[in-house]
Amino acid sequence: ITLPDMTAKLEEEMDRVAEGTKSEAEVVMESRKILSEILKNIGEEEVTVKLKEGLKKDKVVGKCPECGKEIVMRKSKSGKRFIGCSGYPECNFSLPLPQKGSIYVTSKNCKDHGVRILKIKGKKSWSFCPICNYKEFLKSQSENS
């Protein structure tokens, strides 16, 4: 099992907790068991490398529509969340992200843009394609002008 797979499984399990079909204690115990198995199979140094790789993969949203490199979730110096191209500064492609709630990259892809669907969890949970969402925002802004 890879870390992105574990993250996706944990996300699904947390949805079940929110729905009330599974207890938080069960999910924590299962997660510990999975992580324990992973740690048994690899050395400490390898764990660090794998964790860093997994965390990086968890932030990859897809391919940049302008240059083809990866677009990833990032934080600006001021702490604002956004999606930016890993080809920066050669490529300046970026998209704003909602600033409230926890944000996750899901395993689902947008049928129109091929990028991963993002999920916001907070007072109101919702999922969206960052490109579709931004295009809808721009359209609503031009209609209101």
Each residue's pLDDT tens digit, 2-48: 567 777 788 888 888 888 888 888 888 888 887 787 777 666 666 66
**Largest alpha-carbon pair distance within the chain?**
59
Boundaries of domain holding 54: 1-58
Please tell me whether residues 87 and 116 are part of one structural domain.
Answer: yes
d(CA 101, CA 126): 10
Specify whether 44 is located in the same domain as 68.
no
Residues 41, 68 within the same domain: no
pLDDT tens, 49-102?
666 665 566 688 999 999 999 999 999 999 999 999 999 999 999 999 988 888
Q: Output the pLDDT for position 91.
A: 95
Where are the alpha helices (H) located in the chain, listed in sequence order? 3-19, 24-41, 44-57, 130-144
Domain identity same for 64 and 54: no
Look at the chain and report how many structural domains it folds into. 2
Q: Is residue 49 located within the same domain as residue 91?
A: no
Distance of alpha carbon 70 from alpha carbon 137, whole angstroms = 23
Q: Are residues 119 and 95 in the same domain?
A: yes
pTM for this prediction: 0.59
CA atoms of 102 and 96, how far apart (whole Å): 15
Are 65 and 52 members of one domain?
A: no
Residues 73 and 128 both lie in one domain: yes
> Are 54 and 12 contained in the same domain?
yes
Residues 78 and 123 in one domain: yes
> Is the domain of 65 the same as that of 8?
no
Please tell me the predicted confidence (pLDDT) of residue 93: 93
What's the confidence (pLDDT) of residue 27?
Answer: 85
pLDDT of residue 47: 64
